[in-house]
Amino acid sequence: MVMPGLAFDKERHRIGYGKGYYDKYLSEHEVKQKVALAFDFQVLDNIPFKDYDINPDLIITEKRRIGTLI
């Protein structure tokens, strides 16, 4: 699954669009691999997150990869 986001951090937390649709869907369905595509400027040192937020397994930017796939 490709996960959208406005911002990410180096621990793969993400800020989405505020409705929680992806977190709700992923909590109810098994998805083996979750990837986010972003520009490198969208990756911050840290962002706020909740315990129920579901992170992508891998973030790919034009400069780096953060995380790994199964």
Tell me which of 14, 51, 57, 65 is the catalytic residue.
14
Tell me which of 9, 12, 40, 53 is the catalytic residue.
53
Q: Which residues of 32-56 are buried (b: 16+ CB within 10 A; e: fewer)?
A: eebebebeeebbeeebeeeeebbbb
**14 flagged as catalytic:** yes
**40 flagged as catalytic:** no
Tell me which of 9, 23, 57, 64 is the catalytic residue.
23
Q: Is 40 helix (H, G, I), strand (E, B) or coil?
A: helix
**12 flagged as catalytic:** no
Which residues are known to be catalytic?
Answer: 14, 23, 53
